[in-house]
Amino acid sequence: MSLLARDFYERDPKVVAAELIGKHLVRRTLQGVCSGIIVETEAYLATDDPASHSYRGKTRKNATMFGRAGLLYVYPIHGRYCLNAVTETRGVASAVLIRAVQPILGIELMQFRRQSPLIDLARGPARLCEAYAVDRQLDGWDLTQGRRIWIESAPLEITTEDSAIKIQITRRIGVTSAHDFQLRYIARNCEFVSGPRKHADALKTDNSIRLVVCNDLEPPHFPDGAYSN
């Protein structure tokens, strides 16, 4: 596995959101390491997107969205938090919300934090942040450092179209505006995806990412000098 570099994030959020499916989100704390396969994302655009936090301009709370690509934007919601990867370039406030992961490492630690069954550990952005011990203290953290929290590319297995896990593109969920924007990306038929799945309006048929079973996955890579908290 290899750490995602900044140029991965310096692109259209729709492209980043789609290509994050199948990548590994890794969190390291003093309590231990958690890792999971990203199975659901949503893109939030810099312009003409009323559901984006940046739509009405820069504020103290959303300032990270206006920073450089690869930063972690964390915001509070109902006493918990949601995490996003900032995309494009400095001053262009777009981001990708990571909505769900399939846990593969540190499951007992996630369960200690969440007190819930495996299927519900990180199925939804607030649950994900709770399982990964993410809060506003990580707002502005650089995901490209490979420390504390980062995203890695997973080993890819090139498969036939029939055996590959495909990505569905649907309307975003849980938004109060721009309801019809097709900007949610999910791993098709994955039980770890959050929310309703009946709105899958489009299917990408050229995707060759395959989500393999947990026992076959390699442990996450820890860069030299990775932080322990």
Tell whether 225 is covered by a domain: no
Instruction: Please tell me what DSSP assigns to residue 142.
Output: B
Tell whether 34 is covered by a domain: yes
DSSP collapsed to 3 states, 30-82: CCEEEEEEEEEEEEECCCCCCCCCCCCCCCCCCHHHHCCCCEEEEEEECCEEE
Tell whether 188 is covered by a domain: yes
* Residue 95 structure tokens: 């981001």
Write the CATH number for 109: 3.10.300.10
Instruction: Please tell me what DSSP assigns to residue 211.
Output: -
Give the CA distances from residue 202 to residues 105, 186, 198, 222, in Å, rounded to whole numbers and listed in that order: 31, 11, 11, 36
Tell whether 223 is covered by a domain: no
Q: What is the dihedral of CA 63, 77, 195, 206, to 10 degrees?
A: 10
Parallel, antiparallel, or unpaired: how do β-strands 200-204 and 167-170 relate? antiparallel
Tell whether 174 is covered by a domain: yes
Full domain range(s) for residue 158: 2-216
* Residue 13 structure tokens: 């959020």
Q: Could you count the other beta carbons within 10 Å of the beta carbon of residue 109? A: 19
Tell whether 103 is covered by a domain: yes
Confidence (pLDDT) at 222: 45
Number of domains in the chain: 1
Tell whether 37 is covered by a domain: yes
Cα separation, 19 vs 47, in Å, equals 21
Give the CA distances from residue 221 to residues 10, 36, 90, 165, 218, in Å, rounded to whole numbers and listed in that order: 23, 13, 28, 24, 9
Place of tokens 């370039």: 89
For each of the chain's 229 residues, which pLDDT tens digit applies?
Answer: 799 999 999 999 999 999 999 999 999 999 999 999 999 999 999 888 998 988 888 998 999 999 999 999 999 988 789 999 999 999 999 999 999 999 999 999 999 999 999 999 999 999 999 999 999 999 999 999 999 999 999 765 544 455 466 899 999 998 888 888 999 999 988 999 998 544 433 333 333 334 433 333 344 444 544 434 4
Tell whether 116 is covered by a domain: yes
Rg for the chain, CA atoms, rounded: 16
Burial class of residue 189 in the structure, from the number of CB atoms within 10 Å of its CB (0-12 exposed, 13-18 middle, 19+ buried) = exposed
Cα separation, 98 vs 172, in Å, equals 12
Backbone angles phi, psi at 130, to 5 degrees: -65, -45
